Chains A and B, each alone.
Chain A
Amino acid sequence: MLDRWIIRHWLMFSTTILTLAAGWVWVSQPAILPSSVPKSAPQQGFAAPEFRLNTFAGQPVDLAGLKGKVVLVNFWASWCQPCRAEMQAIQNTYADYHDQGLVVLAVNTTYQDDLNRAAQFAQSEGLTFPFLTDPDGSAARLYQVRAMPTSFFIDRQGKIVRVVIGGPMPEALIRTQIEAMLKEVR
């Protein structure tokens, strides 16, 4: 009985449903304040959590000071085969785009690695981007690193635009992401 009535008045029935649904979409718009800044979290769409670590040579590097640059933060360890395998692809991309504002920070998870072995690997492979040490694992905890390697692509505003867990990352993936971020208006 009800089914027959609905079929007979289908236009009215479906228009009512669609109007209610459209009304819900309209009233449930997210409230966004123009000044709102995304909180920091190791997830796409959030501000990249800030850290200050030393390079292998002992020079401090502050992530907060790199605003305006495109940053690739790569957590790695020398015993991790996929980490080692993707380093040359990162190096090739870094060589091509460093002049345009790309910064690569290779954060060695020193708390679970041998620093000498890591430094030897970087040198033998001819990797020219900065290598940082994370002796107490504070940066890895901040970025909730659960697998090696894990990479965070951070745009000029300091926002994470992509997280890649696992590896090795293909060179085309790194290039595609970096090129897209570099094209973004400052």
Chain B
Amino acid sequence: MLPILNIGPLAIQTAGLILLAGLWMGLSLAEKKYPKFAVQPAAVNNLVFIGLVAMLIGGRIAFAMANLSAFIKSPGSLISLNPSLWDLPGGVLIGLTVSAGYAYRHNVPFWSLLDALTPGLAVLLIAAGLANLASGNAYGAPAHLPWSIYLWGDWRHPSQVYETLAAALILFLKVLFPLSRNTRKPESVPAGLFFLEFGAWSAAALVFLGAFRADETLIAGQLRAVQVGAWIILSACLFLLGRRKKQAAAQVGS
């Protein structure tokens, strides 16, 4: 665990640094793979940039709206650089809405866009695992195993390591390996399948590995929120995969 990186007088939050590096590496990898998908690189880059800015600003606005009285007493906080004043669901929702609006306006094909962003998402999931390992968040349940790590006063499952390794395995087997085939052409595979398969594998991994976490928010009695959320994503991916595969099969048949 290395939550803070002290470089001279600077104390840098390692988790944030890893996430930024992951975002940069993910976008770089995605950009290299754009030719494998039916998208315009410039349009995708613009969409990602606009979406990220909207997410940052939207997250702050959502947080301020939810805590209006605190911001009325301290309006200067609205432009604070501190990332703690940020609402994740609100930011993601606003970022996605603005991105969808941009995609619609500039005729960016929806499924091809998601396919093109998949390599970036895969790298970002690895970065998220490493960031959790650095900060000590998403820590594992107590367990005395040869590979247990000592964290927060107990020997625990290295759940962050499990999730990082699973994300790395999915990146290599379900993203990089299929894309490395020279025969892959944008028109040879129905759009959306690449993203949905990645989503299904990642969600399935989280359903399984979430069981080794200890820090979880519980819902409906004693079910871990992360596992329930991942199960819902898995259901959606399988449902959409079925539809896309059948549509593709019908097109080939006709």
Closest to B75 in A: A172
Question: Is A116 an interface residue when CB atoms closer than 8 A count as contact?
Answer: no
Selected from B153, B238, B249, the residue in CB contact (under 8 A) with A7 is B249
Question: Is B31 an interface residue when CB atoms closer than 8 A count as contact?
Answer: no
* Interface residues on chain A, number (Cβ under 8 Å): 39
Contact B85 A170 (CB under 8 A): yes
Q: How far is the CA of A171 from the CA of B52 in the complex (A)?
A: 26
Contact B152 A46 (CB under 8 A): yes
* Beyond A14-B238, A14-B241, 13 additional pairs, beta carbon < 8 A: A28-B211, A29-B222, A30-B141, A30-B216, A30-B222, A30-B224, A43-B139, A45-B215, A165-B11, A169-B82, A172-B77, A172-B78, A175-B67
- 10 smallest A-B Cβ distances: which pairs? A172-B77, A28-B211, A171-B74, A147-B11, A170-B77, A175-B70, A170-B80, A14-B238, A41-B152, A10-B242
B residues sitting closer than 8 Å to A (CB atoms) are 3-4, 6, 11, 13, 64, 67, 69-71, 73-74, 76-78, 80, 82, 84-85, 136, 139, 141, 152-154, 204, 207-208, 210-211, 214-216, 218, 221-224, 227-228, 231, 234-235, 238-239, 241-242, 245-246, 249
Contact B152 A165 (CB under 8 A): no
Q: How far is the CA of A169 from the CA of B77 in the complex (A)?
A: 9
A residues sitting closer than 8 Å to B (CB atoms) are 7, 10-11, 14, 17-18, 21-22, 24-26, 28-30, 32, 39-41, 43, 45-46, 89, 92, 96, 146-148, 164-166, 168-173, 175-176, 179
**Chain B hits for A147, CB < 8 A:** 4, 6, 11
Closest to A8 in B: B249
**Chain B hits for A164, CB < 8 A:** 84
**Chain B hits for A10, CB < 8 A:** 241-242, 245-246
10 examples of A-B residue contacts, CB within 8 angstroms: A10-B246, A14-B235, A14-B241, A17-B234, A166-B13, A170-B74, A172-B64, A173-B77, A175-B69, A175-B73
Contact A179 B69 (CB under 8 A): yes
Contact B239 A14 (CB under 8 A): yes
Contact A171 B13 (CB under 8 A): no
**Chain B hits for A7, CB < 8 A:** 242, 245-246, 249
Contact B208 A172 (CB under 8 A): no
Contact B11 A166 (CB under 8 A): yes
**Chain A hits for B241, CB < 8 A:** 10, 14
Closest to A43 in B: B152
- With A7-B245, A40-B153, A175-B73 known as contacts, the answer to whether A25 contacts B85 (CB < 8 A) is no
**Chain B hits for A96, CB < 8 A:** 73
Q: How far is the CA of A170 from the CA of B73 in the complex (A)?
A: 11
